[in-house]
């Protein structure tokens, strides 16, 4: 089984993008570069087998390719931002995901047991190694859903999960409604089938970075305390988890 990281990127967003505090391409590029510093170390450590970095703003990725030289990192850049301003950015991100699955050699050659970990590219999952190590052994979709909200910053899926749930889901995001709500409805409303859906993290991810909408840290003031308490509860439950 391979663990493949899919990093979604928009280095140079459209100038009229609403609700976007971090819009400067160089500032965004620096955030992506910082994240790649971390994820390339996870590649070398064996946590990840491959990384697919894909940008939908058509930005020249030469500087990143030069900095992160590895045959196990695949780079894709194309332009696909010409959609209505009223659509949420999740619409563009998941159109990007579908493009990745058609253009990426890594993703088109997925085995049934391989897992793709989709991370919003400017975020760093500091404990990624543990999140992956303690993830369910059998899953097709791994996405936290709480109170009708799907956490889309970090998700994972198998080839089957992609085909059944993710493929073409951007068409359902062609609205002003928040994609996290739409995906949560889809995941909780699906009939039991051969597609195994897990809607709670077996181990909580610790994500750092700045939110694009308002530039505030992803982690709130009390998040480290809440995270520590969650870890205690999860650790206590580990011996009993099947």
Average pLDDT of the residues in 41-54: 98
Average pLDDT of the residues in 174-180: 91
- CATH code (residue 40): 3.90.550.10
Q: What is the DSSP letter of 210?
A: B
95 token code pair: 């159109």
Say if pTM beats, i.e. exceeds, 0.85.
yes
Average pLDDT of the residues in 62-89: 94
Rounded to whole angstroms, the Cα distance separating 34 from 5 reads: 16
Average pLDDT of the residues in 179-190: 95
Q: How confident is the model at residue 232 (pLDDT cuts 50, 70, 90)?
A: low
Rounded to whole angstroms, the Cα distance separating 117 from 79 reads: 23
| pLDDT at residue 88, as a whole number | 84
| pLDDT at residue 15, as a whole number | 78
Number of separate domains in the chain: 1
How would you class 39 by CB atoms within 10 Å of its CB: exposed for 0-12, middle for 13-18, buried for 19 or more? buried
Rounded to whole angstroms, the Cα distance separating 171 from 68 reads: 34
Which SS3 state, helix, strand or coil, does residue 197 take?
Answer: strand
Which domain covers residue 104, as residue numbers? 3-240
Residue 190 CA to its chain's centroid (Å): 22
Q: Is the pLDDT of residue 114 over 90?
A: yes
Average pLDDT of the residues in 15-37: 86
Average pLDDT of the residues in 177-203: 92
Strand partners, 111: none
Rounded to whole angstroms, the Cα distance separating 90 from 221 reads: 26
């Amino acid at each position: 089984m391979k663990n493949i990281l899919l990093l979604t990127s928009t280095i140079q967003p459209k100038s009229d993008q609403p609700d976007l505090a971090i819009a400067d391409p160089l500032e965004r590029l620096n955030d992506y570069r910082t994240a790649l510093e971390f994820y390339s170390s996870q590649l070398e450590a064996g946590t990840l087998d491959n990384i697919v970095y894909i940008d939908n703003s058509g930005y020249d990725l030469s500087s990143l390719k030069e900095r992160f030289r590895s045959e196990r990192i695949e780079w894709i850049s194309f332009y696909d931002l010409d959609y209505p301003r009223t659509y949420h950015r999740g619409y563009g991100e998941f159109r990007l995901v579908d493009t990745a699955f058609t253009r990426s050699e890594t993703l088109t050659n997925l085995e049934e047991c391989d897992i793709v970990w989709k991370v919003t590219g400017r975020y760093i999952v500091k404990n990624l190694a543990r999140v992956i190590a303690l993830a369910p052994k059998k899953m097709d979709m791994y996405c936290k859903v709480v109170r009708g909200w799907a956490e889309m910053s970090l998700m994972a899926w198998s080839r089957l999960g992609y085909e059944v749930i993710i493929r073409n889901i951007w068409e359902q995001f062609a609205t002003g409604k928040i994609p996290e709500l739409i995906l949560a409805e889809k995941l909780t409303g699906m009939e039991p089938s051969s597609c195994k859906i897990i809607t709670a993290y077996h181990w909580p991810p610790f994500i750092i970075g700045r939110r694009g909408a308002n530039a505030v840290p992803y982690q709130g003031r009390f998040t480290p305390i809440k995270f520590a308490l969650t870890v205690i509860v999860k650790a206590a439950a580990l011996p009993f988890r099947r």
